[in-house]
Amino acid sequence: MILIVAHPFVFCYALNFPGSLILILLSFLMLAIYVKLARTFVVQSFCVFWGMIVFFSFLNVYHSDLCSISNVVQVLIVFLICTVITNCIGERAFCKQYVYLLTIIVFLGFIGWLSVLMFNYPPLFNYTAQDGRPVAAFLFTVCNTYIPPVPHPIIRYSGIFDEPGTLAFFSMIALCINKLMVNNKTCEVVLLILPIMTFSLAHILTLLLFYLFFYITSIQRLLVFASVVSGLIFLIISQKDISPYNRIYELSLHRLEQDDERGFQGNNRSESTSNAYKLFIENKLLGVGVQYEEEHHGISTNPFTILALYGIVGYLIVQIFFWRILIKSFVSKWKFLNWNCIKCLVILFVNFQQRPFTTNVFTMFSVLLLLSVVETQLNMNYKRNVSLYDRNLL
């Protein structure tokens, strides 16, 4: 409940209840569980968490920015969640539930997408999203992009997340966790195929990277993969002037076409990226702070978001878990690397560029969960190979 009660899930907006207040109340309940049951924690992670808390507290004073207090609260909540899971549930058991949850959300969202396409029924109700955009709620999914019926409507489905790109982002995290630890083939197929219907350009490009990393293991498979992709591209282009199939072209390849203002049609963050870069230039070291950004600019989520808000120092600290695991994997275990882990780190870093993970509890937790899985697998691979190496010496 703590993870799904607030942003990026839609319940607090669609049902109009105070998600942040409920989140804090539930966190106090979890704190009681932590005090009673979770008496141990990983020292390194503890130090990193509290280093982030100290940094955000410092920014609160430096920028005279009360908005930084929310970051302190979020980090505390994520620390509590991670500690309770470690002590009371177990990483592997929770990872299974996380992958199952995302699989169900993706599958039901796809059913909602398919039902709109087939039966052309009106939205069940409408509401206003956090950013002010109108959102329509259909069966098992919400949608902020609705293309009218000609003769059938097409939506970009979001499941119970705030937008299609968010659903795609978390489906990729779940896909990586499943690949490294859970290894459920049914979940993998669902998470590989169905999120494509979100028509998220960033997700499709990341998905191609996932295919190349984990499925292209020979020249023959590479040729088959290239042939399939080329065939799909040719099929979509050939239908671009034929209604109603031209809408598939508009949602996919058309978004890669050149645009004088945005660079390409699918770049819906050009303005926010430009604003974020200008703010970063104003204060490269420690950024301008969350409150200043909210009062003067809209920077959304883009590669310069963290740099604009917290500067270079903040960029390193906010993503310190990622850098710590990446450095640790190469420096201390380079002889026994688990390359699947490195591939997932690369995919995660690519996703970082479009969705920095400082915005809410669920995003920060999901990224840290994947990083924890990566570290666990690296440690297991290291111990296994060292043990094998020692036996060979004997």
Question: 127-143, pLDDT tens digit by residue?
Answer: 887 767 788 888 889 88
> pLDDT tens-digit profile of 293-345?
666 566 767 778 888 888 888 888 888 777 777 777 666 555 666 788 888 88
Other CB atoms within a 10 A radius of the CB of residue 74 amount to: 24
Query: In 3-state terms, what secondary structure has residue 140?
Result: coil
Beta bridge partners of 39: none
Tokens 């034929």 appear where?
Answer: 242
Angstrom distance (rounded) from CA 28 to CA 81: 11
Task: Look up residue 264 and give its two tokens.
Answer: 């390409």
Q: Quick one: which of 120, 80, 101 has its CA closest to 167?
A: 101
Q: Which residues of 102-130 are buried (b: 16+ CB within 10 A; e: fewer)?
A: bbebbbbbbbbbbebeeeeeebeeeeebe
| pLDDT at residue 17, rounded to an integer | 75
> pLDDT tens-digit profile of 61-83?
888 777 677 888 888 888 888 88
Sign of the CA dihedral 339, 341, 347, 350?
negative
Q: Based on the number of CB atoms within 10 Å of its own CB, is 346 exposed (0-12), middle (13-18) or buried (19 or more)?
A: middle
CA 71 vs CA 17, 36, 59, 270, 313: distances in Å: 21, 25, 10, 26, 16
Query: In 3-state terms, what secondary structure has residue 136?
Result: strand
| pLDDT at residue 93, rounded to an integer | 94
